[in-house]
Structure 1
Amino acid sequence: MTEKSIIFFDIDGTLLDHDKKLPLTAKEAIFSLKDLGHEVAIATGRAPFMFADLREELEIDTFVSYNGQYVVLNGQVLYKNPLDQEALHSLTELALKNDHPIVFMDHEDMKANVAHHDYIVESMESLKIAQFPSHDPLYHEDRDIYQSLLFLQDQEETIYEEEYKQFDFIRWHPLSIDVIPAGGSKAIGIDKITTELGIHKGNQYAFGDGLNDIEMLRQITNSVAMGNAHPSAKQAAAFVTSSVDEDGILQGLKKVGLLK
Structure 2
Amino acid sequence: MNIKIDNETDSPKISAALFDLDGTILNSQEIIPDDISQRIKHISNFVPTSLISGRIFSSVYDYSKELELSSPQISDNGALIFNPINKEIIFSRSIDCEVARDVFNLLDSNDFYYFASSQGEQINNNSKDKNFENVNIITCLYDDIYKFVSSNSLINLSKISLIPSSGSSNEKYLSFMPKNINKGIAIEEYSSYLGINKSKIFAIGDGLNDIEMLNKVGISVAMGNSDKEVYNASKFYTKSFDDNGTILALDWIIEGLN
The normalised TM-score by structure 1 is 0.79
Three-state SS of the structure 1 residue aligned to 2:151 is helix
Distance (whole Å) between structure 2 residues aligned to residue 55 and residue 139 of structure 1: 26
Q: In structure 1, what is the equivalent of residue 182 of structure 2? A: 185
SS at match of 2:24: coil
Aligned to 1:203: 200
When the two chains are superposed, the root-mean-square deviation of aligned CA atoms in Å is 2.6
Native 8 Å contact 1:92 1:102 kept in 2:
no
Q: Take 1:39 and 1:186, find their aligned partners in 2: how far apart are those partners?
A: 17
Query: Is the Cα contact below 8 Å between 1:6 and 1:40 reproduced in 2?
Result: yes
Aligned match of 1:159: 151
2:212 corresponds in structure 1 to 215
Aligned twin of 1:107: 119
**How far is the alpha carbon of 1:45 from its aligned partner?**
0.8
Q: Deviations over 1:60-109 (max 9, x none)?
A: 13211101111024643211101111112223334455554543322343
CA 1:40–1:210 in 2, change beyond 3 Å: closer, same or farther?
A: same
The answer to whether the Cα contact below 8 Å between 1:47 and 1:65 also exists between their aligned partners in 2 is: yes
Q: Does the 8 Å CA contact 2:16/2:200 hold for their aligned counterparts? A: yes
Extract unaligned runs of 5+ from structure 2: 1-12
Separation in structure 2 between the aligned mates of residue 91 and residue 30 of structure 1, nearest angstrom: 37
What's the TM-score once normalised by structure 2's chain length? 0.80
Match of 1:168 in 2: 161
2:68 aligns with 59
Query: How many positions carry a matched residue from both structures?
Result: 235
Give percent identity, aligned residues only.
25
SS in 2 for 1:26: helix
The answer for unaligned runs of 5 or more in structure 1 is: 114-134
Q: Deviations over 1:184-213 (max 9, x none)?
A: 111111211111211112311101111111
Distance in 1, Cα, partners of 2:123 & 2:82: 22
- Counterpart-to-counterpart distance in 2, 1:110 and 1:28: 29
State the AA in 2 paired with 1:109: E
Aligned mates of 2:129, 2:152 — CA distance in 1: 20
Q: 1:154 to 1:144 in 2, by over 3 A?
A: closer
